[in-house]
Structures are given as structure tokens and as C-alpha cells.
Amino acid sequence: MITPMKKVTILCIESLKTITLEELRSMGLLHVIHLQSPTGSDLNYAKAELQRVQKAIDEVPSKGKKNIAPISDAADSLVDEVQKLIAERKESEEMLSQMKAELSRYEVYGELNPSQITALSEKGIYIRLFETEKNKKPVTEDDSALIYHYGKNIYGDCYVIINRGESPSEVTNANELRLPSCSISKMKSNIFQSEKALSKIQSRLEEIATVKDSLKNQLLSVSDNYTLKEVDAGMLETSGIAMIQGFCPVPRISELKSKAPKLGWGLKIEDPTEDDAVPTLIAYNKLSRPMKFLYDIIGISPGYNEMDVSMVFLAFFSIFFAMIVGDTAYGIIFLILTLVAQAKMPKAPKAAFHFLILMSCTTIIWGFLNNSFLGFSPAALDLAQKSFLPEGVRKVALWVRDASNVQYLCFILGVIHLTIAHIWNFILRLKQKSTTALAQLGWLFSTWFMFFLASNMVLKKEMPEFAMPLFITGLVLIVLFMVQPKNIKKEWISFPMLIFDVINNFVDIISYIRLFAVGMAGVAIAQAFNMMLSPLFGSAVGIAVSVIALFFVHCLNIALGIMGVAVHALRLNTLEFSNHLGLQWSGSEFTPFVKQKMN
């Protein structure tokens, strides 16, 4: 459920502002609202320090060197060292890039030394370097000038022109090159030194990576300092009084009330208004907790005044996941990988593993019902043929083997999914004593008519006699009650748009057929490759080749299945279902003012 919030305003003596902030931060119950735009030199310095440490962490490799002595340097000095290493690396990379570019251009001229060429020019001997287009030769009117072809580089043909006199001779049909910054031997030496320096820098960064946790701890420290300065700068101060405002979960209001007299706070607690941007804090139970993982992954949250659909979302998403991935072996692979990861990462959030275990188990169940194992249908796993199983299980297993039945199941899931949305809306609006609740009944009747219509059009199932009267009744309820009488002038556009909404209602039911289509695509890919490679099963070499090929095929198929889940299973919940529910996912997560670094 979505935890109810109270809007809290706290007044304190300005001299006790720091103590107040430290106390609020330790309590970790206030989602702070900035009463003014946070600015100031202290905040700018804290932000710069945060960026400095973050940049240092980003530059340190994820894995460090093995078998080296532990580094005992303080985290702050390591950050300074990383900054210095970054600057040195940039300088070395620029030097390396420059020297390599010059070497690629001038190496064709042999042991070129620009200082010797300059010295000769002072004595009236001019040596100049030229480049021309391919198979073109420089032209000079000085018959005494010597022209030497030195070969080619990536820019064209390379020439040297030498002449004596008071000035260099005129040359056409060629581009004169400036002298390089140093000799060829010096370029090679600089390249070697730069590469050596880069290697040394990288080695040191890998050493520092062994204590990266220390740097991350430092990041938490400077992040806490920045947040504190930001909250401080966002407070209002006047006449020796400082004020901070935010939202607090109702179950924790008592903590504020008990703390206020001890610290001399003035405390105002009120209900949020419609204009307040109230954050959303979802209180998960044991069943819905896995949903937190999915919400965090896709970055959505219901608005404070919206409904918490975690349980419905999770239930239908797990079914959609199973139908799209649809293979027992894939589910078993997911389950094994999840259990191994859980054993290796005991400190990781449990919600993630619970979510993955649920998805794996539903996939395994659906795969067994379909008798699908890596694209094969082994008789040993056929539930329909197991006499020891209840007859109902065997009938279900047989029923889902028929493609038309699975398509019908998709429509059934769709109409149930959308029915939940409209009943939920009906109850909510009934509690609000809104006449629009009757319009939700109209949409419910319309949705069931669309289910019957889709089943008739796609699967040739006979429509019940009550379907058309049901639709007409629903349409009348929608027209009469979709807009409250007092809002007709503002929302009159809803009436001409009704025809499109009714069409969309039909489209939404039809869209659930995607579960069948995407699931069948994965099965078809696996079966096709199994058939293509089956002739190779007759020899050891053929079996080895087939196993390798099928490994990559099934890896690809799993990846495509996960992509299908990300696109289609999410869409059916966040678009089709949410649109019928009126859920806009407009929430912002409750982020309390709290210290991240634990002493």
C-alpha cells in the first residue's frame, strides 16, 4: 500500500540549525522540500568535492592487482593521487598522440633532425620537405635545386628539395611541410617514454583499485556533506528563526512529536494539498516485495494519490513472463543462476532474488504444461501422459497444447486484467461519491463485449446473446456518467473522443494476443534449429558441432525472450492495464534526508 504522508514544517532557533539538521538526518524520516533555491559558496565547494571524488572512483579500475601489499593511505590522499595520475595520464596520452602522428608523417624521411636543417639554412643551404598527390612531382624553376623522392606516407608522395643561395627556391605543385618538433629518434624515444608512463599509471590505478571500497566510503562521506549543505541552503531564515519543510510518513509522525519539545522545535503538521508534490512510499508485504525490484529497474512509481497495483502487476507480469519465455529448460537455467548469484552475493537485496525465483518458477510450470524443453517435446516430461497426476492437471496440459486455446487464454487474461482495473476504479470512485463510478461499470461492460467480439473475429467463437445488450448498456452508462454535470463545459471534448476510446478498448483486448505470438516465435526458433541440426546427431563430431551451435542459438533465444518480456509484458501492465485504471505512474520516490555513511 502507499503510505500516507503529512506535510511537516519545523521551526528552530537559527543558532541551533546545525543541531536540528543533524538530528533530522539521524532520524531519516523527512523528505525535504527546498523553501528557496539552494545556493552559496559552501554548497558549491561541497559539490566540487563530490564531483572530485566521483571522478576519481570512475577512473579507478573495477578490479585491482592480486598479491600486492595492502595500501594504507587515507582515502582523501588517494583521491588526490588519483587526480594527479589522471592529469599525468592526459599529458602522456597527448604526447603519445602527437608523437605518433608526427612519426607517421615524417618517418619516411629517415633519421631527420630539424636542428641540423635549421643550422644549414643559416649557412645558405636550404633543405625543405614536401608532399604531393600520388604520382605527382614538385616543380621548381631553380635548375640547381636537387629533388629527392623519399617514398610515401599516408598523405601522399614525399620529397626533399635542396638548394643553395640567399633564399629557398620557389616550388609549385607540392605542399611544403613544417619541420617536425624533434628528431625521428627523439619521437621514438618520447613514444616509448609515454607508453611506459601510461603503463606505470595504469599499474598504480590497479593497485589503488584494491582499496576502492575506501574510496566509495569517502564518496558517501562527501555526498552526505553535500546533502547537508544543500538542505541547509534550502531553508528559510528570518529574525533569528530557521524553517525547514518536508513530508513525513504518518506512522513516524509520533517520533517528530516526541523529539520537538526536547530540541525546542516549533512543529506544524498538516495534510498535503492537491498542489503539493507528495513523494510516494510503498509499504511492501512479503508477497509484493519482489515488485520493488522491478519498479527500481524500470524507474516507475505510482503517484501519491494513485493506487498501489504491486500485487496485480506482479501476478500478471509473472504469467506474461512465463508465456513469453515459455520453456522449462530456460526456467531451470534462470533458477540455477539466481540461486548461485544469491549464494555468492548474500548482501544483495533479497527482493531481486525473490523476483527472479518467481519468474523462473512460473516459466518452469508453463514449460511443463506445454511440454517444451529446449524446443523438444520429450515424452518423459509430458504431464498429459502421467496417470499419477490429477485429471484436471492432465486436461490443462492437453488444453494449452492447442494454439487456438492459448490465443483464447490470452484474451481471457486480457479481459480479467482490464476487469480488475475497472472494478478497482468503480470502488474508488464510489468511495469518493462520484457519479463517474457508473461510467466505470459502462467501460466494464464494454470491455467484456470487446472480449466476445475479439474471440468471435479471431477464433470464430460464438458470441453470447447478451453481448450486444451488454455493450449498449455500457455505452449508455459511459455517455451519461463519464463526465460530472458540473464539469461538462470543461471536459466536453470527451464526448466526440468517445468513438476513439471505444475502438481503443477493442484494440487493448486484441493486444494481449502478443503473448501467444512472441511465445510461439521463441518455440519456433528453437524447433527450427533442432530440426536443421538433427542430421548431425549420427556421429560424435556431429553431436559436438550441434551442441555448440545449439548453445549459441538458445542463448540468443533466451536474450530475445527477455527482450520480449521487457517490451510486451511491461507494456500490457504499464499501458493497457494502467490506462484503464487511470494510473499515470506520476510518482516521485520518497527519499528521506538521511546519512548514507555509517560510522
Q: What is the pTM of this model?
A: 0.78
Least confident span in 179-188, 240-249, 545-554 = 545-554
* pLDDT, position 347: 82
CATH 3.30.70.240 positions along the chain are 1-37+234-281
Beta strands (DSSP E) in 202-340 are 236-238, 241-249, 266-270
The CA distance from 60 to 54, in Å, is 10
- Indicate if the pLDDT at residue 536 is higher than 80: no
Name the H helices within 462-539. Answer: 467-481, 488-491, 498-510, 514-533
* pLDDT, position 394: 87
Q: 5 forms bridges with which residues in the sheet?
A: 249
What is the arithmetic mean of pLDDT over 234-250? 93
Res. 72 pLDDT band, cuts 50 70 90:
low
Percent of residues, the chain, with pLDDT higher than 90: 53
What is the arithmetic mean of pLDDT over 32-57? 92
CATH number belonging to the domain at 1-37+234-281, selected among 3.90.650.10, 2.30.30.100, 3.30.70.240, 3.40.50.300: 3.30.70.240
What is the arithmetic mean of pLDDT over 138-156? 88
Convert the pLDDT of each residue in 164-222 to its tens digit: 988 888 888 899 999 998 999 999 999 999 999 999 999 888 888 888 888 888 899 99
Half-sphere exposure (CA, 13 Å, Cβ side) for 234?
Answer: 17
* pLDDT, position 586: 86
What is the arithmetic mean of pLDDT over 87-103? 92
Convert the pLDDT of each residue in 551-581 to its tens digit: 888 899 899 999 999 889 999 999 999 999 9
User: Which of 365, 298, 355 has the alpha carbon at shortest distance from 325?
Assistant: 365
What is the arithmetic mean of pLDDT over 524-529? 85
Least confident span in 291-305, 414-428, 529-543 = 529-543
Res. 59 pLDDT band, cuts 50 70 90:
confident
* pLDDT, position 71: 63
* pLDDT, position 99: 92
- Indicate if the pLDDT at residue 244 is higher than 80: yes
Res. 596 pLDDT band, cuts 50 70 90:
confident
Convert the pLDDT of each residue in 282-293 to its tens digit: 988 888 888 888
**How far are the Cα atoms of 3, 166, 441, 442, 450 from residue 476, in angstroms, in the given order?**
37, 104, 10, 7, 16
The CA distance from 7 to 32, in Å, is 10
Convert the pLDDT of each residue in 415-463 to its tens digit: 999 999 999 999 988 988 888 899 999 999 999 999 999 999 999 999 9
* pLDDT, position 257: 92
Element housing 175 (H / E): strand 175-177
The CA distance from 467 to 484, in Å, is 27
Res. 486 pLDDT band, cuts 50 70 90:
confident
Residue 287 phi/psi, 5° resolution?
A: -75, -40
What is the arithmetic mean of pLDDT over 301-307? 88
* pLDDT, position 363: 95
67-93 exposure pattern, b = at least 16 Cβ within 10 A, e = fewer:
eeeeeeeebeebbebbeebbeebeebe
The contacts of residue 517 (CB under 8 Å, 6+ apart) are: none
Res. 598 pLDDT band, cuts 50 70 90:
low
Convert the pLDDT of each residue in 329-373 to its tens digit: 999 999 999 999 999 998 888 889 999 999 999 999 999 998 888
Mean of the per-residue pLDDT values for the chain?
A: 89
* pLDDT, position 96: 93
Res. 517 pLDDT band, cuts 50 70 90:
very high
The CA distance from 333 to 419, in Å, is 34
